[in-house]
Amino acid sequence: MTDALIIGGGSGMGLALARTLLAEHMDVTIVGRSADRLAAARAELETAAEGRVGTVRADIGREEDVAGLFDRVGPVEHVVVTAADVTGAYGPSTGVASSAARAVLDTKLLGAWLVGKHAAGRVTGSITYTSGINAYRPNGSNTIVAAANGALTSLASGLAVELAPVRVNVVSPGWVDTPVWDQIGMDKQAAFTDMAGRLPAGRIGTVDDIAQAFLSVLRNGFVTGTVLHVDGGHRLV
């Protein structure tokens, strides 16, 4: 049995979670599309992993990949999904191509559902999805990403009942410095400084803030059908 499957674990929050779970003596399989990214992540993790990290290439938006992933991995205690293809989907809707919007829905929403569908009968503990602050705090852009994030709440509620006693939850991060920001095309440091000054927490989130939130959701056997907001109070300002 694999302790944890992290779909999107080759970078950002997923990679931080892999590091956290390895430190908790769990074994981990990380999943993504890029073989190079997975190899680099594995090389980074291996020093602490002692052979406890596996990699699988799969695209969460393709049903044959998701089915093949669960066939290959077999029984798994926890599944965490951080994967999303948001390329070209940030900014006002007038500037977003429908192909980019479709890719968001295919990966972030339909991909999440495919994971629930193919994890059924194989996952024993929990599935945790990743949404995001823009579902709760519209800012005049990124609307299709926000819509997919919002829909994950309903998906997790439905699957929490459908797959019970497997627990199904959502972690909703605020702004966190990860590679996804490189696709957004803004002055990241200026935006982060401005946002940090507005947030009750007084700072931007770290990948470890989010990894700790995933860990608490994995560990707490009474949490299901819930969204855990880890956003420094962003929804309040």
Ligand X SMILES: NC(=O)c1ccc[n+]([C@@H]2O[C@H](COP(=O)([O-])OP(=O)(O)OC[C@H]3O[C@@H](n4cnc5c(N)ncnc54)[C@H](OP(=O)(O)O)[C@@H]3O)[C@@H](O)[C@H]2O)c1
Figure out which of the listed residues 127, 176, 199, 227 binds ligand X, where binding follows CB under 6 A: 176
Residue 125 found at the interface with ligand X (CB under 6 A): no
If the CB atoms of residues 160 and 214 are measured against ligand X, the closer one turns out to be: 214
If the CB atoms of residues 179 and 202 are measured against ligand X, the closer one turns out to be: 179
Distance between CA 60 and CA 214 in Å, rounded?
19
Figure out which of the listed residues 19, 33, 229, 234 binds ligand X, where binding follows CB under 6 A: 33
Which tokens belong to 82? 């951080």
Segment interacting with ligand X (CB under 6 A) among 89-97, 113-121, 154-162, 177-185: 177-185
If the CB atoms of residues 175 and 224 are measured against ligand X, the closer one turns out to be: 175
Distance between CA 78 and CA 104 in Å, rounded?
24
175, 170, 176: which is closest to 213 by C-alpha? 170
The pattern of x and - marking residues 131 through 170 that bind ligand X according to CB under 6 A reads -xx-------------------------------------
Segment interacting with ligand X (CB under 6 A) among 53-61, 91-99, 114-122, 194-202: 53-61
Residue 213 found at the interface with ligand X (CB under 6 A): no
Peptide bond preceding 200 in cis form (omega within 30 of 0): no
Distance between CA 18 and CA 23 in Å, rounded?
9
Distance between CA 9 and CA 11 in Å, rounded?
6
Residue 37 found at the interface with ligand X (CB under 6 A): yes
Segment interacting with ligand X (CB under 6 A) among 8-16, 119-127, 190-198, 219-227: 8-16
Q: Which amino acid is at 66?
A: V
Distance set, CA 54 to CA 8, 29, 31, 73 (Å): 13, 4, 9, 10
Distance between CA 210 and CA 180 in Å, rounded?
15
Residue 128 found at the interface with ligand X (CB under 6 A): no
* Contacts made by residues 65-72, CB under 8 angstroms, sequence distance 24+: 66/111, 66/114, 66/115, 66/117, 66/118, 67/118, 69/5, 69/7, 69/31, 69/118, 70/118, 70/119, 70/122
Site residues for ligand X, window 55-84 (CB under 6 A)? 59-61, 82-84
Residue 185 found at the interface with ligand X (CB under 6 A): no
If the CB atoms of residues 147 and 180 are measured against ligand X, the closer one turns out to be: 180
Cβ 148 to ligand X shortest distance, Å? 8
| Residues engaged in binding ligand X (CB under 6 A) | 7-8, 10-14, 32-34, 37, 59-61, 82-86, 107, 130, 132-133, 173, 175-176, 178-180
